[in-house]
Amino acid sequence: MCVSDRHIMFGDSKGKICVYYLKTYKKVCELKGYSSKINVMVNNAKYLISGDDDGNVIVFNLNDFSICYRLKHKREVISISISPDELSFATGDLIKQSSFGI
Provide the residue range defining the domain that includes 52. 2-101
Residue 102's pLDDT band (cuts 50, 70, 90): low
Close Cβ partners of 100 (under 8 Å, ≥ 6 residues apart): 69, 71, 88, 89, 90, 91
CATH number of the domain enclosing 80: 2.40.128.630
Please list the helix, strand and coil fractions of the chain in percent, rounded to the nearest 5, in that order: 0, 55, 45
For the stretch 55-100, pLDDT in tens is 999 999 999 999 999 999 888 999 999 999 988 999 988 777 676 6
CA–CA distance, 27 with 21 (Å, rounded to integer):
6
The rounded radius of gyration (Å) of the Cα atoms in the chain is 13
Number of domains the chain contains: 1
